[in-house]
Amino acid sequence: MQTLTDRFGRHHNYLRISVTDRCNLRCLYCMPEEGVEFTEASNLMSYDEIVEVVKSGALLGIKKLRITGGEPLIRPDLDKLIARLSAISGIEDIALTTNGVFLAKQAKALKAAGLNRVNISLDTLDPARFKFIARRGDLKRVMEGIEAAAEVGFHPIKLNCVLLKNVNEDEIAQFLKLAYEQPLHVRFIEYMPIGHDDDNWKNHYLPLSRVLEIAHEQKYQVRRREDVHGNGPSEDWEMKGGIGSFGLIHPISDHFCKNCNRLRLTADGNIKPCLYWVDELNVRHALGDPIAMRDIFYKAMDIKPENHEMAAKLLNGAQTHVPTDRRMSQIGG
């Protein structure tokens, strides 16, 4: 089988697929309160088009998929897309990242369609703070989504917590307790300057070394683990006697680019080799032409940079490429 290997020897077998750039929430770190200019429904990649792109990728070694947004569960009939993707030869694992608000009603159908795993965004355990961070929505519905995911058998269930200095850092101990007492994998994520690098980002950035400090303060005996399925860039830890575990995703303080194995397909039909940089390759013109589609994947390997250099942005340092001006919700993080 042909494989996707970039100039730095990194093998790519993972494609993240954004099915929409729309979202029912407006999280502080992801989208401005007023929203962004959303893609017209007629310009979104159709399910037929997404399936075609994935089939081409599978021939080149793509084995893992993640469905993202915006909020993917607002796209109608998502379970039907999951079923079609799971039937593609070579695809071994399909995961979903969601804010969880609509998950309770769809979990059973998604599981039946072939979805393997879910990541659920959960930045706070406090209902009032949830409304502050997400600017709308109801924490109760997210918790119901987590319960439904467990009931239908998704495993592992990962909770994505973006840490924001002076916003939710005081809840680190509560999240660690949650991971200790329940079969959940809590992933703490550093705030990234995707589509913006203003003072708001710099003022709220918190290095994840703070999580380990608090774990020790709380007297947890922690050790690294390597067996969390689909761990990707996460540095994973377990607590002695605990049921769950926790992970650290720190692209700023300790970037994970050296092991990057992923590409992204945006909702409007662009392959992004790197989350942070502006480079995108539109797949529309290649639809219906397997050779042209294959060449787009190869081109993505040719132009993919060695790293994202977000740490330099934190220190106001020079960068070698042009950062994207698209927000996280428009890319599919």
* pLDDT of res. 49: 98
Is the peptide bond preceding residue 90 cis, with omega within 30 degrees of 0?
A: no
C-beta separation of 133 from 121 below 8 A: no
Domains identified in the chain, total number:
1
With H, G, I as helix, E, B as strand and everything else as coil, classify residue 248.
strand
* pLDDT of res. 311: 52
Compute the average pLDDT of residues 156-182: 95
Residue 331, pLDDT above cutoff 80: no
Cα Rg of the chain (Å, integer): 19
* pLDDT of res. 234: 79
* pLDDT of res. 253: 55
Q: Which amino acid is at 153?
A: G
Alpha carbons within 13 angstroms on the beta-carbon side of residue 210 total 18
Q: Measuring CA to CA, which residue among 96, 99, 78 is closest to residue 142? A: 99
C-beta separation of 257 from 308 below 8 A: yes
* pLDDT of res. 81: 98
Residue 225, pLDDT above cutoff 70: yes
Q: Measuring CA to CA, which residue among 283, 316, 325, 315 is closest to residue 17? A: 283
Phi, psi dihedrals of residue 135, rounded to the nearest 5°: 65, 0
192: left (phi over 0), alpha (psi -120 to 50) or beta: beta
The alpha carbon dihedral of 241, 237, 162, 232 has a sign of negative
Residue 219, pLDDT above cutoff 90: yes
User: Using 50, 70 and 90 to split pLDDT, how confident is the model at 333?
Assistant: low
Q: Give the chain's mean pLDDT.
A: 89
Q: 259-318: per-residue pLDDT in tens?
A: 889 999 999 999 999 877 778 999 999 999 999 999 999 999 999 988 765 555 555 555
Q: 44-58: per-residue pLDDT in tens?
A: 999 999 999 999 999
- Domain region containing 275: 4-331
| DSSP strands (E only) in 139-234 | 157-163, 185-190, 222-224
Residue 251, pLDDT above cutoff 60: yes
Compute the average pLDDT of residues 126-138: 94
* pLDDT of res. 229: 60
Read off the CATH number of the domain in which 82 is found.
Answer: 3.20.20.70
Task: State the burial class of residue 218 (Cβ atoms within 10 Å of its Cβ: 0-12, 13-18, 19+).
Answer: middle
